[in-house]
Amino acid sequence: MPNPRPPLYTFRFLALCLFMLLAYCNISVFYNLYPYLELLGVPQGLRGAIIASSSLATIAGFLVFTPRLNERTAPWAIFAGIGLLIGCGVGYLFETDVPGLFALRLMNGVGIALVTASATTLLVAHIAPERSGQAFGVYSIAALLPYSIVPFVFDHLPMPLASPAQGYALMSLALVPAAGVNLALLLQHRALAARAGATAEAARAATASKGRGTGFALMRSSLGEGRTVLLLLLNIVYYLNFSALFFLSKSLFASRGLGGVGVFFSIQTALMLLIRVLGSRLFDEIKKPLLILWCYGLTALGFGMLWAMHGQGMMAATALVLGLGMGVGPPSLNALMYALSAPPVKAVNSNLMVMALQTGSFLGPILGGLAVGWLGVAGFLGVGLLANVGGVWLALYFLRQGWTGEARREA
C-alpha cells in the first residue's frame, strides 16, 4: 500500500503564503507611484530612477542576505523586514522631496528582500519534495493576487484617500498582524524542537549547525552549475515579459483605439490563478521542462497576437492565450530548481530565483521602453518575442539533457 502524501496546507505553509501575499501587496500598492511623483513635482528624468531603485535594493538585499539565512535566522529577518516596510510606508506621509523618496524606495526594497527571502528559506526547509510543484504553485498565487486586487480596491474605495501616500501607509500597516503570525511560527518551531527530546548538547549542536547559513562560497559554487544559471535566465525571461506587458500595454491599447486594458489583465490574471488552483497537482505529475516549453511557446504566440490585435474579440482571445501560457511558468520553474538542487543549496537557489524575478521585473520596462522608442508602441512585443524564442530553446535544451528533476528526487 503506497504511503500517503505528506500534508501541504499546514499552519507554517499558510503563514508563509500570507507573508508573500502581504509583501507583494507592498509592491503592487505602488501602481500609482509614477503619477504621484509627477504630482509632487519630481522631474521626469528622476521618476523612473526612483521607482526602479526599490528593485535594485531588493536584488542587492538577496545577494547579501541569502547566504546568511537559515531556519534559525529567517524568523528574525522577517521581523526586521516587517519593521522596515512599515517604517517605509508611514514615511511617505512625511517625505516628499527627491532624496527622501529615494531613501524610502531603497528601504522598501530591502524590506521586501528580507521578508521574501526569509519566507522562501523557511518554505524550502518545510515542503516535501514530492509536493514541490503543488507547493510552489500555491505559493506563487500569493505573489500574483495583489496585482489583481490592490489597484482595484484602492481605485474604488467608498471614501477616496487624500493622497496615494495614505494608501502606502495603510498597506504597510497590514503587516502588523503578520508579525504576530511570525511570532507564532517561531514559538511553534521551538516547541517542536523541545518535544523532539534532544539533549541540551545535541540541541546546541543543531542550533550551531543551522546558524551557519549557506555562505557566499556555497552560493558561488551553486552559480557555477550550468543548469542553475540557465534556470535563473529562464526566470529572468519570464518576468521580463510579465513586467513589460504590465507596464507598457496601456499605451499599446490606446494607440489602437482600444479601451479595456483592465479587462485584458483581469482575464489573463484570472486564468493564471485558475490554472494554479485547479491544476496545481499537474506541476508534480508532468515533466517540468515540458510545462516550461508550453509556457514560452504560448507566451510567444500571445505576444504575436498582441502585435496583430485590432479588436475587442482579439483582445479577449489574446488574454486567454497569455493566461494559459504564463499561468504554468513560475510553479514549474521554481519546482524544477528545487528538484535539481542538492539539499545544501535548495534554499539559496530558491532565493536566487526570487532575485531573478526582481531582475526581470527591473529589465522588462527598461528594455521594453527602449524598444518602444526605436520601433513604436508595439516595440516591446518584439523584445518579448525574442525572449520567448530563447525560453523555448532553453526548455528544449533541458529536455535533451534529461534535466527534469526526477533523478534527483529518486536518489
pLDDT digits (tens, 9 = 90+) for 121-134: 898 888 887 777 78
Q: How confident is the model at residue 378 (pLDDT cuts 50, 70, 90)?
A: confident
Q: Measured over all CA atoms, what is the biggest interatomic distance in the chain, rounded to whole angstroms?
A: 71
In this predicted structure, the answer to whether residue 87 has a pLDDT above a threshold of 50 is yes
Query: What is the reported pLDDT for 266?
Result: 82
> Which among 233, 275, 253 has a CA at the least distance from the CA of 133?
275
In the chain, what are the domain boundaries? 10-213, 216-404
Please tell me which residue, 404 or 167, carries the higher pLDDT value: 167
Its sign, for the CA torsion 55, 57, 58, 63, is positive
Query: What is the reported pLDDT for 193?
Result: 66
> Which among 162, 178, 132, 182 has a CA at the least distance from the CA of 25?
178
pLDDT digits (tens, 9 = 90+) for 95-117: 999 999 999 999 999 999 999 99
Which residue type occupies 176? V
Q: How confident is the model at residue 411 (pLDDT cuts 50, 70, 90)?
A: very low
The fold of the 10-213 domain, in CATH, is Growth Hormone; Chain: A; (1.20.1250)
Please tell me which residue, 88 or 409, carries the higher pLDDT value: 88
CATH class, 216-404 region: mainly alpha
Burial of 223-240, coded b for 16+ CB within 10 Å and e otherwise, reads eeeeebebbbbbbbbbbb
Determine the Cα–Cα distance for residues 411 and 406; give it in Å rounded to an integer: 9
Determine the Cα–Cα distance for residues 383 and 377; give it in Å rounded to an integer: 12
In this predicted structure, the answer to whether residue 264 has a pLDDT above a threshold of 90 is no
pTM of the model: 0.77
Alpha helices in 286-345 (DSSP H): 288-308, 312-326, 329-340
Grid cell 489597484 in the structure block, residue: 151
The per-residue pLDDT of the chain, averaged, comes to: 84
pLDDT digits (tens, 9 = 90+) for 222-242: 788 889 999 999 999 999 998
Determine the Cα–Cα distance for residues 18 and 12; give it in Å rounded to an integer: 10
Instruction: List the grid coordinates of 303.
Output: 505576444
In this predicted structure, the answer to whether residue 306 has a pLDDT above a threshold of 90 is yes
pLDDT digits (tens, 9 = 90+) for 311-352: 888 999 999 999 999 999 998 999 899 888 888 888 888 888
Query: What is the reported pLDDT for 195?
Result: 66
**Phi, psi at residue 311, to the nearest 5°?**
-150, 165
DSSP string for 28-59: HGGGGHHHHHHHTT--HHHHHHHHHHHHHHHH
Its sign, for the CA torsion 339, 342, 346, 352, is negative
Same fold, 10-213 and 216-404: yes
User: What percent of the chain stands above pLDDT 90?
Assistant: 32
First to last CA, the chain: 21
Determine the Cα–Cα distance for residues 113 and 24; give it in Å rounded to an integer: 11
